[in-house]
Structure 1
Amino acid sequence: MAEVNPFSLSGTQYSQHWPSLISPDYWLNQGFIFATGQPKSAWRWNPGTTFLSTQRGVLSGVVIYLAMVFGGQIIMKKVPKPIRLKRITQAHNLLLTIISGFLLLAFMEQCLPAWRDKGFFYTICGSESWTQSMEVIYYLNYLTKWLEFVDTALLVLKKKKLEFLHYYHHSLTMVLCFEELLGRVSVAWIICSINLLVHVIMYYYYFLASCGKRVWWKEIVTTLQIVQFVVDLGLCYFCLYTHITFHAVVPLPSIGADCRGTRLAAYYGCVLLSSYLLLFVQFFIKTYIKGEKGGHLGFRAMNYDDLKSKKVAEKVEKTE
């Protein structure tokens, strides 16, 4: 029976912590009921059964994605003019802005009460902090990484130059989210949350740019991406060290507690995020400090042809 008062918490699911009107958990539950006829609590992540839950499927996705990048560029060289899908680009950017914001709020609804009641360490390392409700959000976040492949397809059609950072980041982040699901890495919630916050800002910037708006805070997005990886790495290395020292045969300085998650997922996350930090710092120096012509925001082309103005053209001429 529907709640009479949408601001009341009476009669809500065990995983709902906010009033129904503003609760991502409530709306996710309604979505599951509408799509499957069952509540969200009935869903389970089953590797090998759940959609896109096999290592073969993930590897195939990466291969197909890279084939799209390089094969698409070869094909588009033979096409006289770029294919500009302005409306689709706008819709894609706006959709990812909304999805990222919704999933960020979903993480906050689940994690902030746990942080308040049991402490921050519990949320990033506790064995019971990986709940079914959290797993649903992790899985949806993982699916968005497949959706972000559309970014690349749109750029290929526009004949935009793709930097190594672009397809490296897109393909391997999808793999990272998959490994976090397999490894049940508790600290992943804060890594995902920071990433979603950055994506809300970033995709909203792309949406404004695709609508012809000139935005002054483009450099801030790249700066936030770098800060994101610094924070991520600090947490990842802390959790990995905590896990290793807890299980070490030789006594090492330790806090005396374990951190949930497999070592494979932890090693992969630490190595990958370290490489991201180096590549984004390199990009920042090349684009904003050295001021190389043709630089683009983060890992995606920043300007669209239809946004070029006389002022921008004059600036380009000076750099040549």
Structure 2
Amino acid sequence: MSTLYATAHYWLVEHPSISQYEWIPNQSPGSTPLFLFATVATYLSLTLLLSLRPLPSPPPFLRLITAFHSLLLCLLSLLMAVACTLSALHQSPTPTWPICFPANHTPPRGPTFFWAHVFYLSKIAELLDTLLILLSGARGRRRLTLLHVYHHAAVVAVCRAWVSERQSLFPVALVTNAAVHVLMYAYYLLCAIGIRPRWKRVVTDLQILQFVFSFAVSGWMLRIHFGGGPGCEGIRVWCVNAVFNASLLALFADFHVNNYAKRKRLAEDGDNKKIS
């Protein structure tokens, strides 16, 4: 077990390309504002175009592509969750470092920021989710919601800011989000191969729980920030991120009510009618 841990720690944390990583504006992959704007604009334009025009029947190999895409992101999410945890523990000079980066003393370098960069690029790969949904035909279009498009488009910019602005608290957010995505993409993978698990609601519940957890930990971060000392790095970007998380929490809660609570009430009403 110790040999396995040492091997994983080397390849995920201590490897020179990871341990010596540094975010360099306008030089690191995907770091330019133009790249970010072009990515989000292309995503929104294609989504609008494909949702308005008629599409042919889904190709027979679409399920295979969806399964591969889901498997890839499931494994990548697991890798990022483990790697960022090991990196934050390795790089932390104090126990509270993953919660609050000391202001003006935290350059965007090292293994934790490397995995934040990978996480940012993974959110661009997740944009393919929308294309796969639209290509699945009329049923897919009905599944496409404002929550889905808004979340996918905005999260790319949010995750880029984690690295570029050295936002405090991102290691915790990255690990929790990646962990939830392991389960979410496992669900999508099973659906793509013809198995429909009965725990879809669990995925939504965990997504809501991660936002509630982020607000709880944010209270700890703010206590450190205003408790004296240099304060926490990236606090302005954190404020924007907090508003984004609050909007997602509201949308996920509304989705939960519309898709589960109302369905449960209708089922209960149907049972009552049968009894009467």
**TM class by shorter-chain length?**
0.7 to 0.9
SS in structure 1 opposite 2:196?
A: coil
CA distance in 1, matches of 2:2, 2:247: 45
Alignment of structure 1 residues 186-197 onto 2, 5 Å: 186-197=168-179
Cα gap change, 1:114 to 1:55, in 2 (>3 Å): closer
Structure 1 match to 2:34: 56
Structure 1: 5+ residue runs without aligned partners?
A: 9-17, 31-37, 246-254, 293-320
TM-score, L = length of structure 2:
0.84
Cα gap change, 1:259 to 1:196, in 2 (>3 Å): farther
* 1:143 has 2:97 as partner: no
Which structure shows the higher helix fraction? 2
SS in structure 2 opposite 1:256?
A: coil
Q: CA RMSD in A?
A: 2.5
SS in structure 1 opposite 2:3?
A: coil
Alignment of structure 1 residues 12-31 onto 2, 5 Å: 18-20=5-7, 22-23=8-9, 25-26=10-11
Q: Is the 1:125–1:258 contact (alpha carbons within 8 Å) kept by the matching residues of 2?
A: no
Q: Is the 1:114–1:123 contact (alpha carbons within 8 Å) kept by the matching residues of 2?
A: no
Aligned-pair distance for 1:163?
0.4
CA distance in 1, matches of 2:97, 2:28: 28
1:71 equivalent among 44, 49, 55: 49
2:23 equivalent among 45, 55, 72: 45
2:154 equivalent among 164, 172, 179: 172
Alignment length, in residue pairs? 256
Structure 2 match to 1:275: 247
* 1:122 has 2:97 as partner: yes
CA distance in 1, matches of 2:123, 2:259: 26
* 1:82 has 2:78 as partner: no
Q: Is the 2:18–2:110 contact (alpha carbons within 8 Å) kept by the matching residues of 1?
A: no
Aligned-pair distance for 1:264?
3.0
CA distance in 1, matches of 2:124, 2:77: 13
1:230 equivalent among 194, 212, 216: 212
Aligned-pair distance for 1:259?
3.8
TM-score, L = length of structure 1:
0.73
* 1:103 has 2:103 as partner: no
Structure 1 match to 2:267: none
Letter in 2 for 1:123: P
Aligned-pair distance for 1:60?
1.6
Q: Is the 1:98–1:200 contact (alpha carbons within 8 Å) kept by the matching residues of 2?
A: yes
Q: Is the 1:100–1:196 contact (alpha carbons within 8 Å) kept by the matching residues of 2?
A: yes
Q: Is the 2:168–2:234 contact (alpha carbons within 8 Å) kept by the matching residues of 1?
A: no
What CA deviation, in whole Å up to 9, does each residue of 1:159-205 have, x standing for no partner? 31210000100011111001111110131000010000000010011
* 1:7 has 2:3 as partner: yes
What CA deviation, in whole Å up to 9, does each residue of 1:1-37 have, x standing for no partner? xxxx9818xxxxxxxxx411x33x515776xxxxxxx
Alignment of structure 1 residues 151-300 onto 2, 5 Å: 151-159=129-137, 160-161=140-141, 162-240=144-222, 242-243=224-225, 245=226, 255-291=227-263
Q: Is the 2:91–2:111 contact (alpha carbons within 8 Å) kept by the matching residues of 1?
A: no
CA distance in 1, matches of 2:116, 2:150: 21
Identity %: 28
Aligned-pair distance for 1:110?
1.9
Q: Is the 1:97–1:199 contact (alpha carbons within 8 Å) kept by the matching residues of 2?
A: yes
CA distance in 1, matches of 2:110, 2:180: 25
CA distance in 2, matches of 1:273, 1:95: 26
